[in-house]
Amino acid sequence: MNFTEFTYKISNLKNLELPGVEAQYKLAPILRINELSNIDIKAKKPNKAGVMALFYPNKEGITHLVLILRKTYKGIHSNQVGFPGGRVENFDKNLKYTALRETEEEVGIPQSEVRVVKKLTKLYIPPSNFWVHPYVGLIERTPKLIPQESEVEKILEIDLEDFMDERNLIHQELSTSYAKNIEVPAFSLNGHIVWGATAMMLSELKDLMKLAL
């Protein structure tokens, strides 16, 4: 979709009700749904994080979404695709600021140039004990994307049309740090399998985009 048309239609997001947990669960493994329905999240005293679903025009003026492939490390989310974003720091003013700050650090987009248009439904991630707060934002120009060397293996530039294409919803058998050979619903984007918490947040974003676009 042309970015000029996208920016015109995206203004509708402000007045739309969030699809919420029901939309998230469309891309959740059964194991995760069962876990979330039987957990007292507040009792876990989860850490908080802010992430950004950021849209921008590529050089041809076509709307794209930024995702990142994280580095391989000794941790729950090693080598997984996610949104730019991260943990709340003591000096952060609020969760939106966290999402903007981390996006600048991880992909090089200045905070001052991002227009935040909507906050999505927060999502709890049991394996890492994080409550993640996603935001939708856009930047009006084609950015120079610079991966943070210590955190980001690769920046993924996702065409909006590919993201919205139902043919890119798949099921994949995976082994994780907490379960072996489980079948999970996922997105297939730019040759990468996007599953778990990121897929759940993308699922709500997609349902919201269907209403706005």
pLDDT tens digits, 52-92: 999 999 999 999 999 999 987 655 545 789 999 999 999 99
How far apart, in Å, do the first and last CA atoms of the chain sit? 10
- The model's confidence at residue 146, banded by pLDDT at 50, 70 and 90, is very high
Q: What is the pLDDT of residue 71?
A: 86
177 band by pLDDT with thresholds 50, 70 and 90: low
Q: What is the pLDDT of residue 76?
A: 52
Name which of 82, 83, 108, 112 is nearest 97 in CA terms: 112
Higher pLDDT pick, 31 / 209: 209
How large is the C-alpha radius of gyration of the chain? 16
Confirm if 72 and 64 have CB atoms less than 8 A apart. Answer: no
173 — pLDDT class (breaks 50, 70, 90): confident
Answer left, alpha or beta for residue 56, where phi above 0 means left and psi between -120 and 50 means alpha.
beta
Q: What is the mean pLDDT of residues 38-52?
A: 94
Q: Which residue has the higher pLDDT, 22 or 181?
A: 22
Position 165 confidence tier, pLDDT thresholds 50, 70, 90? very high
Closest CA to 95 of 128, 127, 121, 77: 121
pLDDT of residue 89: 95
Cα–Cα separations (whole angstroms), residue 192 to 90, 129, 151:
34, 25, 18
Q: Can you tell me which residue has the tokens 């969030």?
A: 18
> Which backbone phi and psi does 69 adopt, to 5 degrees?
-100, 120
pTM for this prediction: 0.94
Q: What is the pLDDT of residue 86?
A: 94
3-class secondary structure per residue, 55-98: EEECCCCEEEEEEEEECCCCCCCCCCEECCEEECCCCCCCHHHH
Averaged pLDDT for residues 180-200: 91
Q: Give the pair of three-digit tokens for residue 141.
A: 């120009």
Alpha helix positions (H), 108-181: 160-164
Q: Averaging pLDDT over each range in 2-11, 29-38, 170-179, which range is the top one?
A: 2-11
What mean pLDDT is reported for the chain? 93
Question: Mind listing the pLDDT tens digit for each residue in 93-124?
Answer: 999 999 999 999 999 999 999 999 999 999 99
Other Cβ atoms closer than 10 A to 140: 13
Contacts of 6 (CB under 8 A, 6+ apart): 55, 63, 138, 160, 213
- Cα gap 152→142, rounded to integer Å: 20
Q: What is the Cα–Cα distance from 156 to 190, expressed in whole angstroms?
A: 7
